[in-house]
Amino acid sequence: MTDRTAIEALLDEAESALDSGNAEATLRLCDEVDRRSPGHPGAAFVRGDALRALGDLTSAANAYELAALARPDHTSSWSALAFARFELMEVEQSKRAVARALREDPRNPEAWWVRSLIQEWSQDEPGAQRARLHARWLSPAAYPLPPQLTDDEIEDIVSGCIAVLHPQLQEYLSNVAILLDNLPPADLLTQYEPMMSPLEMLGHFSGYSLMGRSMEDPWSHLPPTIVLFRRNLERYAANRDELVEQLRITVFHEIGHFLGLDEDEVAERGLE
């Protein structure tokens, strides 16, 4: 077996390991490829995918960048780099990477999808919609248009969630503002360690929980707020029924935080 054939076999094995959920094995196999062929772009790209699967976005982005610089015509490396940089909120770097991906291959659907995320974040909704449509046109199965609900439909679903709760809890919630926004703000995402991806946050509770109120602290009695993030909820669902269900779960999840439950306690109740 030639070195090239052996390296290709190792990369195939690395991708199979990743497909089976064994990212650590994938990294070990990529290390073996690098030992035989230092700086191999294929190993860098697959390593990026494995690091992303492990939640290490910064290292994943660095791996994708190495792959792209080692093989500048590999459009998938540029689009993967653009996506990772976007999730890290390095928007300008993401813009440059997605532009390079589309220069190398204007028919790269992932690049058009990432461009839609960037334009959405920049509040260019018409541009975002055009990019989403282009990604869908190029790859309908991978990038379907997300389902949507009107403001009135969302309000009805939220009201229905509250209506099934105990009357005493409904009274408490009457002082909680439940708001709808398109996307979470950057300063909210950076409060988490590591920083939360702008695509992951579906809702957020802010303020003091019922359990956190104190007679000695008048600030703890200020009205709390629940915010629901429309675009992320839409992306989370494959169809309208899933969107309705995820919206209900998110509302109950944030109500759980209002009651004083932490993330683990909310998850134990199936509200993740």
Domain ranges of the chain: 3-138, 151-268
CA torsion sign, 81 to 82 to 84 to 90?
positive
pLDDT, position 218: 47
Q: What architecture (CATH level 2) is domain 151-268?
A: 2-Layer Sandwich (3.30)
- Interatomic CA distance for residues 180 and 71, integer angstroms: 43
- Interatomic CA distance for residues 50 and 32, integer angstroms: 15
Token output for 132:
């989403």
Q: Residues 161-172: pLDDT tens digits? A: 999 988 988 998
pLDDT, position 219: 44
Helices (H) and strands (E) in the chain, counts: 14, 3
User: Phi, psi at residue 163, to the nearest 5°?
Assistant: -65, -25
Q: Residues 138-147: pLDDT tens digits? A: 999 999 999 9
What CATH number labels 3-138? 1.25.40.10
pLDDT, position 220: 43
Which of 116, 53, 46, 56 has the alpha carbon at shortest distance from 77? 46
- Interatomic CA distance for residues 173 and 165, integer angstroms: 10
Which of the residues in the chain have pLDDT under 70? 1-2, 211-222, 265-267, 269-272
What separation in angstroms does the CA of 124 have from each of 111, 119, 257?
17, 5, 33
Half-sphere exposure of 38 (CA within 13 A, CB side): 0
Query: DSSP state, 192?
Result: S
Residue 164 burial by CB count (10 A; 0-12/13-18/19+): exposed, middle or buried?
exposed
Token output for 246:
């995820």
What separation in angstroms does the CA of 166 have from each of 59, 174, 183, 252?
47, 13, 31, 13
